[in-house]
Amino acid sequence: DFKPVSMGRRQSLALALIASAAIAAAASGLASLLYDWRRRSVRAADLSLRRQRRRADLAEAKARFVESVKAATERAGLSPAEEAEILALPTAELVGRLQARTLDHRRVLLAYQRRAIDVDSRTNCAVEFLAPDWAGVDLDGPLAGLPVSLKDNFCLAGRDSCVGCSALIGRPAEADCSPVAALKALGGVPFVRTAVPQSMMSVLSSNPIDGTVRHPSAPGRSPGGSSSGEATLVAGGGSPLGLGTDLGGSIRLPAAWCGCVGFKPTNGRLTSQGFGAAAAGAQRLVPGTWGPLAPDVGGVALLMSAMCSARPGYQYRLDPELPPLDWAGDDCDGQRPLVIGYFVDESPHLFDALPCMRRAVQLAKSALESRGHRLVAWRLPDAPYFELYLRCVFSDGGRRLVDLLDGDEVSPAVRHSLDTARTPRWLRRARARAAAAYGRREAAVWLEASLGADADGGGVWHLAQRLADARRQFCFAWRQAGLDGLICPAGACPAVHLAPTSGSFTGALSFFNLFNTLNCPAGTVPVTRVTAEDLAEAAAAYPAGKSAWHRSVAAMHDAGSDGLPVSVQCAALPWRDEACLRLMAELEAAVARQ
């Protein structure tokens, strides 16, 4: 006979089923964790082996190259005096003599190979030296055989572009990226590739494959990043022209810290197809662009003119998406006095600059006025530029960075960003609210921005609209003031410690990424050096207690900062690259005269 189950037995059965389900879920979770641990262990071992092989291969190739250059020097009979004469020439004059055939392009290359080897031996700036591909270079082009150094993310056919990430080892490019193809067609000779911080998502200078790049004149300081090796090599005299990339100051900051000239063009002015992978490369709201570094403004202007001129127009044939804007050379060489705005850090959306950086702007102002230009104090329109920049760059919430470095040895230079990206979104949001409640505004801004485009519920479309509004507001205020150009600090501080221990200083970069956010052409020009008086004023008056970022900057501005280069940043409206370069040239000439 059928006997109904009692209530007590039903409860026991239900509890048993729940317990079984819980045990099954726990077992499944444990199995998943074990599988993930096993997967990560296997991947980490594989990446470690790749790194070891890559390091050994690069070291062996460098040793062979050094020996080959020694032999070539003996065969060519290149004397120290001839080498010194070649290396002393400004880039534009060097190209002029190559075009006139009063200098042999092979001897020029040999002189720079020798100097690049010397700079690398002191700074570790080079990833690999390149044998010249004379067959692929048009020596009748406007660059006429000029040696050109390349940042590691410029793809070359048959070679890896690892950018310090082990996952990218063994993935050679099928073809040259379009900037390199255009460079060769113009007569440029790629002769060395230079190091970057891991994933290029840092302004410091180390990665677990290539090691740490040191400052060319202050070994205990960082050369900056992410174009670390480029700025070091150019400032050290080892390259007459270098190519870097700039997502948030990655050309201008290392150029400023090392004491050479760097220029970030308007995004879209230069062809940029076929670049190597980067952690923030996929987002198109504030995309990175590439540009030149050189010992002087004439060198960067030379590259821009050659690339952008309708004749020969190589880059326009390579890249159908590029607007065919001819190079307006008259804007670079004009004689009309300029109306130049200037600011230091009066906006609440900019970081407090150290006294040496403020003094450099005042020096630049006086120098430009001495050449007949009119300088007017100008205030940035009120907009959250820094927050917009961070939110655009981390529009994916840091997912790309996490995937790229999965199982890899992680450099201290990128650890903070990676740890933030790995933190669950709900915890990031909670930490951001707690930071805001306790008055830690910088931490709140960083954590909120790291949540990506959906952080405020509006998604990418809303973020794009906010970005467009900020750009329109900026351009309208600029035109109302009747400005031709703008000068401001090249960052909040000079070169920092090689391996900072004082914490993050992300906010100090707001002067650089401002012009990425606005898509303005911008460049840096060396103006002065840190003095003992600057250090004393900073110790007495800098607001180190304002935030954790301020404390970090103040802690690194110590006695070792004395004598470091200090630059000023120049900018113009979008697509007015020629006007920006004219302002840079005027500033360089004015400072030289003073």
Task: State how far the Cα of 456 lies from the Cα of 460, in Å rounded to an integer.
Answer: 10
CATH code of the domain covering residue 576:
3.90.1300.10
- Count CB atoms within 10 A of the CB of residue 420: 19
Residues 408, 376 share a domain: no
- Among 296, 327, 358, identify where a domain stops: 327
Q: Looking at the domain assignment, is residue 104 inside a domain?
A: yes
> How do residues 427-446 score in pLDDT, each as one tens digit?
999 999 999 998 888 889 88
Task: State how far the Cα of 528 lies from the Cα of 532, in Å rounded to an integer.
Answer: 13
Residues 357, 285 share a domain: no
Residues 532, 509 share a domain: yes
Confidence check: pLDDT of 184 > 70: yes
Residues 361, 489 share a domain: yes
Q: Looking at the domain assignment, is residue 51 inside a domain?
A: no
- What is the band of 311 on the pLDDT scale with cuts at 50, 70, 90? confident
DSSP string over 430-479? HHHHHHHHTT-HHHHHHHHHHT-TTTTSSHHHHHHHHHHHHHHHHHHHHH
> How do residues 134-178 score in pLDDT, each as one tens digit?
999 999 999 999 999 999 999 999 999 999 999 999 999 999 999
- Among 411, 432, 451, identify where a domain stops: 451
Q: Looking at the domain assignment, is residue 204 inside a domain?
A: yes
Q: Looking at the domain assignment, is residue 53 inside a domain?
A: no
Residues 456, 440 share a domain: no
Residues 171, 306 share a domain: yes
> How do residues 227-253 score in pLDDT, each as one tens digit?
999 999 999 999 999 999 999 999 999
Pairing of strands 188-194, 242-246: unpaired
Sign of CA dihedral 583, 585, 586, 592: positive
Evaluate whether 554 touches 538 at the Cβ level (below 8 Å): yes
- Among 406, 426, 451, identify where a domain stops: 451
- Count CB atoms within 10 A of the CB of residue 136: 14
Q: Looking at the domain assignment, is residue 24 inside a domain?
A: no
Residues found in the chain: 594
Q: Identify the pLDDT of residue 346.
A: 75
Counting the structural domains of the chain, the total is 3
Catalytic residue among 166, 227, 239, 250: 250
The per-residue b/e assignment along 161-195, b for 16 or more CB within 10 angstroms, e otherwise, is bbbbbbbbbeeebeebbbbbbbbbbbbbbbbbbbb
Active site residue 226: yes
Residues 426, 312 share a domain: no
Active site residue 184: no
Q: Looking at the domain assignment, is residue 10 inside a domain?
A: no
Catalytic residue among 149, 151, 205, 217: 151
- What is the band of 266 on the pLDDT scale with cuts at 50, 70, 90? very high
Residues 244, 123 share a domain: yes
Instruction: Report which residue type is found at 494.
Output: P
Residues 441, 339 share a domain: no
Catalytic residue among 199, 217, 226, 347: 226
Q: Which residues pair with 497 in a beta bridge?
A: 221
- Please name which of 264, 305, 274, 15 lies closest in space to residue 143, comparing C-alpha atoms: 305
Residues 350, 272 share a domain: no
Confidence check: pLDDT of 276 > 70: no
Evaluate whether 338 touches 485 at the Cβ level (below 8 Å): yes
Q: Identify the pLDDT of residue 332.
A: 67
Element (H, E) at 360: helix 355-369
Residues 545, 436 share a domain: no
Sign of CA dihedral 573, 579, 583, 585: positive
Q: Which residues contact 57 (CB under 8 A, 6 or more apart)?
A: none
Q: Looking at the domain assignment, is residue 138 inside a domain?
A: yes
Residues 367, 256 share a domain: no
> How do residues 516-551 score in pLDDT, each as one tens digit?
999 999 999 999 999 999 999 999 999 999 998 999
Range of the domain at 226: 58-327
Element (H, E) at 93: helix 91-99
Active site residue 250: yes
Q: Looking at the domain assignment, is residue 20 inside a domain?
A: no
